[in-house]
Structure 1
């Protein structure tokens, strides 16, 4: 029997008791920006009425992830193991009463089973169809749909192979750190070449997003990656994509936001104050 369109995508059916779910992405947590971690920690400590029944992290939780062994590294290394362990501890404590789901981003695609367990997170495939409140919602980090960014798409195809990841993770931690620094420097150089003008960055391809939604039999794609929080109509048939905010507490004004989905629909909850 031929597969129906939705069979292409992973699926998650929300338990009947869920009333609300929260989505975040692109926190880019790093030791050098403790304010962002503190904003996350405040959310994780919030009482039940102020949070959803589940938290979905749609990629780039961390600025960079060079292997799960950073969690057990010695404090004398430059991998900031104490910071990573603090992040994992806060998330794991939260997961004891609220489910946490994680979908890889372009910065933390190497986050593996040991880190997922340490953070109390359940991994999701990209994309995943969430069935909640009687509707299907398509979840993705979003980078796979930025087809116009051909340099990145070539890079993504390379680093997502098991062979590349095996060879990278086999290198000493210090060497991996150096490679990650070089990659980040190249990324910053690309941003500087556009004057940090986000309108010049490659965005999600409309036709590709529509194709995903039609195959998934969903009306809304929720994603991050582009740092352009907004709702974008994808035609006159009701299909749309909703972009999550990145988090940057040092920006003016500071940014930190949860997207909540409940019976009333989608709404944005600022957390920067």
Structure 2
């Protein structure tokens, strides 16, 4: 039996070539050796439209080579790459997933999310998320030139970094998930296991939900290292992937 593998929050960017190289190596080592690879959002630091990235981009080529081995590749959009579209999927051989999505691992339904929908204490962010995921807003943004989109994306990243720094100084919890939202979401979807990223706080949270054991597994980011969750034979293994 081959493992099912989950990663998230790579934030791939040419300014961090070591992480890009680590991801390339990971794909080469994983291709053909896993039942499926799930990337649960923020594969890229920014994605301003499929038309803004050349088809011969190294990451696109690496994902296409991975898919060509026959290993299923699933990609969920995150808050940084919510504009991933059909052209990206066709070029890489990936299947784009809705957020949230339920899959089966063994005999258990498991809920997959990027994770930002669970951060309901951050009202300002949730308003922003609703805006940028509106089809009309996306159509207007994609109608702009690539240079305009690059400038707007940089402005948005700078504002986000400034805001996150301010929030970290006042209330770190506002950027984490809301516990009531987690239990309500799991109950709504009829699951007792949830896998997500976004918060960059890798951990396995075990608790009781409606009198039964439940678990929320949080994937780590790929800033100073990688973070990989493997499921095999009923067991989950969350590990760091060191550089080098």
Provide TM-score, normalisation by structure 1: 0.82
Please report how far the alpha carbon of residue 138 of structure 1 lies from its aligned counterpart in structure 2 after TM superposition.
0.4
The residue aligned with 1:10 is none
Does the 8 Å contact 1:222/1:243 carry over to 2? Answer: yes
Please report how far the alpha carbon of residue 23 of structure 1 lies from its aligned counterpart in structure 2 after TM superposition.
0.2
Q: Distance in 2 between matches of 1:93 and 1:102?
A: 15
Residue from 138, 155, 177 that aligns with 2:128: 155
Q: Distance in 1 between matches of 2:158 and 2:174?
A: 17
Residue from 46, 55, 70 that aligns with 2:52: 70
The residue aligned with 1:88 is 60
The residue aligned with 1:213 is 186
Residue from 206, 220, 230 that aligns with 1:260: 230
Deviations 1:218-258 (A, max 9, x none): 1110000000100123436312211000001xxxxx32121
Please say which of residues 235-244 and 156-165 is displaced more in the overlay.
235-244
- Flag as ranges the 4+ runs of structure 1 deviating above 6 A: none
Q: Distance in 2 between matches of 1:47 and 1:59?
A: 19
- Superposed CA RMSD: 2.0
Unpaired segments ≥5 residues, structure 2: none
Distance 1:198 1:139, change over 3 A: farther
Distance 1:109 1:200, change over 3 A: same
Please report how far the alpha carbon of residue 53 of structure 1 lies from its aligned counterpart in structure 2 after TM superposition.
1.3
Distance 1:160 1:234, change over 3 A: farther
Deviations 1:48-90 (A, max 9, x none): 68x4211000000000000001123xxxxxxxx86xx110000
Does the 8 Å contact 1:210/1:239 carry over to 2? Answer: no
Residue from 36, 39, 42 that aligns with 1:54: 36
Q: Distance in 1 between matches of 2:9 and 2:169?
A: 17
Does the 8 Å contact 2:27/2:66 carry over to 1? Answer: yes
Please say which of residues 237-246 and 57-66 is displaced more in the overlay.
237-246
2:154 aligned with 1:181, yes or no?
A: yes
Please report how far the alpha carbon of residue 198 of structure 1 lies from its aligned counterpart in structure 2 after TM superposition.
8.8
Deviations 1:136-165 (A, max 9, x none): 110000101110011100001111111000
How many residues get paired?
A: 240
Q: Distance in 1 between matches of 2:162 and 2:13?
A: 19
Provide TM-score, normalisation by structure 2: 0.92
Q: Distance in 2 between matches of 1:201 and 1:146?
A: 7
Unpaired segments ≥5 residues, structure 1: 1-17, 73-80, 249-253
Does the 8 Å contact 1:127/1:140 carry over to 2? Answer: yes
2:16 aligned with 1:33, yes or no?
A: yes
Distance 1:48 1:157, change over 3 A: closer
Distance 1:193 1:178, change over 3 A: same
Please say which of residues 191-200 and 23-32 is displaced more in the overlay.
191-200
Deviations 1:73-113 (A, max 9, x none): xxxxxxxx86xx11000011001121100111000000110
